[in-house]
A and B are shown apart, each in its own frame.
Chain A
Amino acid sequence: MTTTAPAPAATREALGPTLIRLQNEGHDLVVVDADLGASTSARRFKNEFPERWFEFGAAEQDMFSAAAGLSTMGFTVFASTFAVFAEHAYDQIRMNIAQPNLNVKIVISHAGVTVGEDGASAQSIEDIALFSSLMNFRVIVPADVVEAAAAHELAAKTPGPFMIRTGRSRERVIYPDGVRLQLGKADMLREGTDVTIVAIGTMVTRALDAAETLANSGIQARVLNMASVRPLDEDALVAAARDTGAIVVAEEHIALTGLGAMCAQALATKLPVPMEFVAVPNRYGESGTSSELMEIMGLTPEHIVSAAQSAIARKR
């Protein structure tokens, strides 16, 4: 029997089909939209459950505040838009959803620089920092379309606010259908003893490729998928520091305030080791294809390889 690798897919594609499945399985969902449901894939839910779908037009502030109000009537509310347009309603998310700890699941798609040609204004590189600064929010960055479906299901089953970050570019699928995602648990995708690469989202497959390259020169890299950014799996980080003595954090987000900064903060008090950061170098983007942008921003497997070598070189 031959098995063919699944076709590459964008993490955004999981939303609509998963919402339909969850509603069919007995969840009590309401889905709100701000004129981007076709792109986020949420709109497919509308065809199946039109009465549970509320359109707010291009009015994100209204949508997020209304989502909060809807959730007080006992619904599990999914609110989605592009990442940059969720940022447009930050105060609404903070005061109406985070502070009262309401049951709203925010799925932000088209995140990062891989959104590509639309250019800098469309490229959200600060959303992980923004949402991680909101108390009560769980922040999930799935690595592929299968894990994205798992993230939506986890969010539907777990009371309280979630942010789930998805992307537009088609990426390699690494997880088998039906995989589960655990809150606050990193997934070790590859065992290693010389260095650990902690990666999220689009950087997970690149981390796996980098580990392959490193193995060719005799370096054994551990790869952790840190999809659950908040809560963060500090135990896995400490174990990585202890077992491998060097850590690289790879993310499609600005270095200043992203996952790397959070991991460094966690390790600084527990078990500091040499760390390197593969992230957007604190600048705004530009137009280009997604792979061109990843190259420009230094987010390729090659960049991870050299970061790993630097971190290892700094070990004592």
Chain B
Amino acid sequence: MVATTQPDLSALTSRVRQNVVRMVYAAQSGHIGGSLSATDIMAVLYTKLLRHDPQKPDWSERDRFVMSKGHCTPVQYAILAEMGYFPVEELSTFRKKGTRLQGHSVLGKPGGVDNTAGALGMGLSFGLGISLGARLRGMNDVTTYVLMGDGEQQEGQVWEAAMAASFHKADNLVAIIDRNRIQNDDFVEKQMDPMPIGEKYRAFGWAVREGLDGHDFAQVEEGLTWARDTKGQPACVIFETTKGKGVSFMENNPGFHGAAPNADQFAAAMQELGADA
């Protein structure tokens, strides 16, 4: 089973990674590192778990994806384009005048973007609101997935939301943490280490899975499926990832959190990502 689907995912994720680098290079701004670390998670989520219809982005009973680390629009837009929400060519307008594809996520622009983001720390609360609303509507199939960064865990509001989600038994809410070990200025551990995150979520009443490889499609699918199917409490899955994954000189390099590559770096990155010359 897994063997037949993984080649597709590999092709998809290398197209997405190439587009992430292309978009940021063309705009000469944007966030590559946290986009590349989240690419495999996003690809599995959108192809294997999310109940959605790119032709009907407003379908009321769709699953919701909340991008809490709203600077990682390159991967979000690249995935949405691959799914058919809008033409891949539009990715070249990223961050440019008149674009729908702003630097940070804007609800409804384009359809498929379910929240506005940019200020860290708010997505889990927003997702909790959706979850409570879906439950009140009796939409029991609707799951809300919230993607957060590991540096983002420093935001106090995350823990307000964590507390409230377990109190309200929001088991239709899934927190995904991209544990890439780097934040804006430096390694998370050196900046102001919020670890251990898993124990914190457990103490706040969540079911938690840790230690899964966020670049192994099977492990990602297993973790997300477990989280979706957890009942009685909200679930948090923490994926170990590599910031800048796929481009050797960007990997584990805090310098590529929010910096654009120059022409040489761009060429080298595209080659490593297997783009046609």
Interface status of A177 (Cβ within 8 A of chain B): no
Interface status of B122 (Cβ within 8 A of chain A): yes
| Residues of B with C-beta under 8 A to A100 | 106-108, 115-116
Contact assessment for B133 and A56 in the assembled complex, using a CB-CB cutoff below 8 Å:
no
Contact assessment for A70 and B122 in the assembled complex, using a CB-CB cutoff below 8 Å:
no
Contact assessment for B130 and A69 in the assembled complex, using a CB-CB cutoff below 8 Å:
yes
- Closest chain-B Cβ to A35's Cβ sits at a distance in Å of 12
Contact assessment for B163 and A65 in the assembled complex, using a CB-CB cutoff below 8 Å:
no
Interface status of A181 (Cβ within 8 A of chain B): no
Interface status of A74 (Cβ within 8 A of chain B): yes
* Alpha-carbon gap, A71 to B66, bound state (A): 15
* Alpha-carbon gap, A67 to B131, bound state (A): 11
* Contact (A73, B136) CB under 8 Å given A59-B163, A59-B164, A62-B160: yes
| Residues of B with C-beta under 8 A to A99 | 106-107, 116
What mask results when residues 164 to 175 of chain B are scored 1 for a CB within 8 Å of chain A, else 0?
100110000000
What mask results when residues 251 to 267 of chain A are scored 1 for a CB within 8 Å of chain B, else 0?
00000000000000000
Contact assessment for A52 and B161 in the assembled complex, using a CB-CB cutoff below 8 Å:
no
Interface status of B114 (Cβ within 8 A of chain A): yes
* Alpha-carbon gap, A63 to B129, bound state (A): 9
Contact assessment for B129 and A68 in the assembled complex, using a CB-CB cutoff below 8 Å:
yes
* Alpha-carbon gap, A222 to B78, bound state (A): 60
Contact assessment for A95 and B134 in the assembled complex, using a CB-CB cutoff below 8 Å:
no
Contact assessment for B157 and A92 in the assembled complex, using a CB-CB cutoff below 8 Å:
yes
* Contact (A65, B122) CB under 8 Å given A72-B130, A95-B117, A99-B106: yes
Contact assessment for A96 and B122 in the assembled complex, using a CB-CB cutoff below 8 Å:
yes
Contact assessment for B164 and A69 in the assembled complex, using a CB-CB cutoff below 8 Å:
no
| Residues of A with C-beta under 8 A to B168 | 54
Q: Which chain A residue has the least Cβ–Cβ distance from B118?
A: A95
A interface, over-half SS = helix
| Residues of A with C-beta under 8 A to B50 | none
Interface status of B226 (Cβ within 8 A of chain A): no
Interface residue tally for chain A (C-beta within 8 Å): 28
Contact assessment for A65 and B157 in the assembled complex, using a CB-CB cutoff below 8 Å:
yes
* Contact (A69, B116) CB under 8 Å given A61-B160, A62-B164, A92-B122: no
* Alpha-carbon gap, A315 to B91, bound state (A): 60
Find residues 73-124 in chain B having any chain A CB closer than 8 Å to their own CB: 106-108, 114-119, 121-122
Contact assessment for B125 and A61 in the assembled complex, using a CB-CB cutoff below 8 Å:
yes
Q: Which among A30, A51, A59, A66 is the interface contact of B126 at CB below 8 angstroms?
A: A66
Contact assessment for A30 and B133 in the assembled complex, using a CB-CB cutoff below 8 Å:
yes
Interface status of B214 (Cβ within 8 A of chain A): no
* Alpha-carbon gap, A134 to B126, bound state (A): 19
- Closest chain-A Cβ to B25's Cβ sits at a distance in Å of 28
Contact assessment for B119 and A66 in the assembled complex, using a CB-CB cutoff below 8 Å:
no
* Alpha-carbon gap, A62 to B131, bound state (A): 14
- Closest chain-A Cβ to B187's Cβ sits at a distance in Å of 26
Interface status of B140 (Cβ within 8 A of chain A): no
Q: Which residues of A are in contact with B by a Cβ distance under 8 Å? A: 30, 51-52, 54, 56-57, 59, 61-75, 91-92, 95-96, 99-100
A-B contact pairs, 13 of them (CB 8 A): A62-B164, A63-B125, A66-B125, A66-B126, A68-B126, A69-B125, A69-B128, A70-B133, A72-B114, A74-B133, A75-B136, A95-B116, A99-B106
Other A-B contacts than A69-B125, A69-B131, A92-B125, 4 sampled, CB-CB below 8 A, are A56-B160, A57-B164, A59-B163, A74-B133
